[in-house]
Structure 1
Amino acid sequence: MTTLPDTEWTTRADLRELVAALGEGNARWVGGAVRDTLLGQPVKDIDCATPLEPREVIARCKAAGIRTVPTGIDHGTVTALRDEGNVEITTLRRDVSTDGRRATVAFSENWKEDAARRDFTINALYADPASGEVYDYFGGLDDIATRTVRFIGDARERIREDHLRILRYFRFQARFGSEPPDAEAIAACEELAPTLKGISRERIAMELLQILVAPDEMDTLARMDALGVLDVILPEADLAQADVVKWERQNELRPEPIRRLAGLLPPDPEIASKVAGRLRLSNAQKKRLRLAAAREPEDAEDPRGLAFRYGLETANDRLAILGASNVELRGWEPPQFPLKGGEIVKRGVKAGPDVARLMQTVEKRWIAEGFPDRERVDALLDEELEK
């Protein structure tokens, strides 16, 4: 019998209270928390499966003084609010019908039936909160041991149920999988890659951005490209560009999915806007992608000037994509240009275009000289006024 080891999360008092509220035999930990614990990796989210229907879950939690939020009640999910981290509680389910984009489900009381509707064997492991015993219905423990990412049952059938599972496969393979990958999974992803065209752009973006910060991201993208998957979701991608991951590390930058996405795209803000729109990125993400795409080779020649004009974020993005060092930016904050338009007016220049022109000229020279002090700014203004 395999059991979960004692960890910080398995011994939490607030989780014991939740399990007690649901009642004996009515709760098992499931999915990522179980998988990651067995792999010795940090656990972020706790998910609980139960044969109780949502209204009963809410009632039992209320009786125990545990607040809940009906986050996905139509699909059986209730979130229990816990001091040390919320828990999603989902009623056991079985698929009634699927169309590759969404599923119609019915509640169930059968643990194996619930496991059968999940995607990968390593995600279909359940653990008893009291004993720690792990319940494995489809060989997930063996796949954990060999770090094999394998679909439950027939890979093509699982993908036809939800086409997004193609991208989920590559994300999980990048994070957990060993080489070579499961042959059936690879063949199914290649064959059914065109079905991704029917998936909502938001769901595509959610998976793609996670893949971009996965371990060995470029190897994963190269495999997706070879199998025709990347061409469906990001036909603009060019994998032959600079190794952004390498330059993130050398420039002491944490991984950023938008930066890495920009590194796959040509230096064209209009193409970046097109991609951002298609993926339904947020306004902030779109702006960052456009700014990174507007890069020029000359940007690498003056990192501080670049940071002053566009901000540190954009400067670091462009330098990493260009394969250039950001050492001049580390620990440096762009200064504020000390000259004000009113000061120029006081020097006898009429307010309007001439003031703006002088401001721009002095600022440009100030940047070129490495942001000298106020005395030098005054001297630069004097020189320009004398012309």
Structure 2
Amino acid sequence: MAVTLAQADWRARAGLAELAAVLGTNDARFVGGAVRDTLLGLAVADIDIATRHTPDSVVMLLKDAGIRVVPTGLTHGTVTALTAGGPVEVTTLRRDVVTDGRHAIVAFTDDWRVDASRRDFTMNALYADPASGALFDYFGGLDDLAAGRVRFIGDARSRIAEDHLRILRFFRFHARFGDLVDPEGLDACTERANDLMALSRERIAAELLKLLVARHAVAVMALMVDRGILRAVLPEIDGAGAARLAALADAEAVHDIPADAIRRLAVLIPPDAAKPVGARLKLSNADRQRLKAATAGPGDEGPLGLAYRFGAAIALDRLLIAGADVWPLRDFVLPALPIGGGALVSMGLARGPDVARALKTVESRWIAEGFPDATRTRVIAAETVAQALGGAIIA
């Protein structure tokens, strides 16, 4: 019995059937992640359509049908159709003419198998008829998907030579979908690991951060360390880092905290490597700050005090990595110190630097007492001012 694509929610998105009809029943098929993830029962975010029409023809057909179209990548055959249900990428069938491991020059074709042969893994080369859901599998992708095996199409070394990023994609897809490691693919990635040096660090970072939150991230990262996959581009990641990642993942599971890529990257590298690694991977300023702060320990003011000082995200990172209790943060709402410097002046403290110092003392006591209300805080403030003045408590 032929396997067909389930009638998933995304297939009923507004405007999608109209778009497929405009492109023609025999000239357009769903392809890639939407097909793969639907077969696995996963949610689908992005929809891709492959078509026999040339890019110029696609633009003309969509405009004539009143469908807005954006020429997002014409040289590679891609346009984006703006349907009522969201954007859909439409790409002309193509073959690689010249590749250098980072970029490709393509030529267009009308042969579905040729288009499938240039894709990376068999599970990503599955096509589906938009109307009937009939599946087209040219390289055994359905069997590999069922077995949880990420397998390169054709010769693994050739696929990697075409695009070096496929080394990281192999491990990322295995971390997400894999149950069986394909030995040919693993050996090819190991042999060609130094090819990663030719890639931009932004591309490396994007793949690595996605990998780190996949379901088998811990086991796959240990495998990558064992095979020296990242040694040329991230030598800071070693066996000790892989062990710290395993401990962090256990802590996240115990506390039912979702995996976080920056938090996990922080434990993969030594603390003193946070600044150079963040810069090398061109992370955002916010992520660089988290990377540096994550391993600083639980502090000495308790979980809530830590969250007050540094924010809930950094507090959660530091507590989880330190193996400390994070439950107090569950319902934590950032409080505001219910007193200001003006109140301290009204209690007799002279304006100037003494006010700032006294207010810091009040704040520290307020945190230590668990953020008491305004009445108790005023007592703390009065005691602090009295101590500063060397006199009696001012109520």
User: Counterpart of 1:241 in structure 2: which amino acid?
Assistant: R
Corresponding residue of 2:48: 47
Contact 1:80 1:88 in 2 (8 A): yes
Give, in whole Å, the separation in 2 of the partners of 1:308 and 1:105: 54
Give, in whole Å, the separation in 1 of the partners of 2:57 and 2:317: 50
Corresponding residue of 1:240: 243
User: Counterpart of 2:106 in structure 1: which amino acid?
Assistant: V
Corresponding residue of 1:134: 135
1:1-387 equivalent positions in 2, closer than 5 A: 1-12=2-13, 14-179=15-180, 181-237=181-237, 238-241=241-244, 243-268=247-272, 271-293=273-295, 295-298=296-299, 302-387=302-387
Give, in whole Å, the separation in 2 of the partners of 1:377 and 1:16: 63
Cα displacement string for residues 172-208 of structure 1 (whole angstroms, at most 9, x for unaligned residues):
11111122x1110010011111110111111101100
Shift of residue 317 of structure 1? 1.2
> Which runs of no fewer than 5 residues in structure 2 stay unpaired?
388-395
> Which runs of no fewer than 5 residues in structure 1 stay unpaired?
none
Contact 2:25 2:129 in 1 (8 A): no
Deviates more, 1:167-176 or 1:132-141: 132-141
Shift of residue 12 of structure 1? 4.3
Contact 1:247 1:324 in 2 (8 A): no
Shift of residue 141 of structure 1? 1.9
Q: CA RMSD in A?
A: 1.7
Give, in whole Å, the separation in 2 of the partners of 1:176 and 1:165: 15
Contact 1:250 1:325 in 2 (8 A): no
Give, in whole Å, the separation in 2 of the partners of 1:205 and 1:78: 26
User: Counterpart of 2:242 in structure 1: which amino acid?
Assistant: L
Give, in whole Å, the separation in 2 of the partners of 1:382 and 1:318: 34
After the TM superposition, list the runs of 4 or more consecutive aligned residues in structure 1 that deviate by more than 4 angstroms: none
Query: Is the alpha carbon distance of 1:297 and 1:24 closer, same or farther for their aligned partners in structure 2, counting shifts above 3 Å?
Result: closer
Shift of residue 297 of structure 1? 4.7
User: Counterpart of 2:244 in structure 1: which amino acid?
Assistant: Q
Q: Could you tell me the percent identity over the aligned residues?
A: 55
Cα displacement string for residues 29-74 of structure 1 (whole angstroms, at most 9, x for unaligned residues):
1111111222222222111001112221111111111111122222
Give, in whole Å, the separation in 1 of the partners of 2:144 and 2:256: 35
| Structure 2 SS opposite 1:273 | helix
Shift of residue 131 of structure 1? 2.6
| Structure 2 SS opposite 1:232 | coil
Contact 1:14 1:83 in 2 (8 A): yes
Cα displacement string for residues 346-373 of structure 1 (whole angstroms, at most 9, x for unaligned residues):
3333332211111111111111122122
Shift of residue 14 of structure 1? 2.0
| Structure 2 SS opposite 1:119 | coil
Give, in whole Å, the separation in 2 of the partners of 1:111 and 1:134: 12
Shift of residue 326 of structure 1? 0.9
Give, in whole Å, the separation in 1 of the partners of 2:36 and 2:374: 59
Contact 2:341 2:359 in 1 (8 A): yes
Give, in whole Å, the separation in 2 of the partners of 1:265 and 1:149: 27
Give, in whole Å, the separation in 1 of the partners of 2:373 and 2:21: 67
| Structure 2 SS opposite 1:28 | strand
Give, in whole Å, the separation in 2 of the partners of 1:16 and 1:110: 23
Cα displacement string for residues 284-323 of structure 1 (whole angstroms, at most 9, x for unaligned residues):
2222222224x12545x61011011011111111111112
Deviates more, 1:212-221 or 1:32-41: 32-41
Shift of residue 11 of structure 1? 4.3
Corresponding residue of 2:391: none
Contact 2:23 2:61 in 1 (8 A): yes
Cα displacement string for residues 217-258 of structure 1 (whole angstroms, at most 9, x for unaligned residues):
110100010010132343223122262222223333222211
- Report the TM-score when normalising by structure 2: 0.92
Shift of residue 105 of structure 1? 1.1
Cα displacement string for residues 236-281 of structure 1 (whole angstroms, at most 9, x for unaligned residues):
231222622222233332222111112223334xx22211111111
Contact 2:123 2:150 in 1 (8 A): yes
- Report the TM-score when normalising by structure 1: 0.94
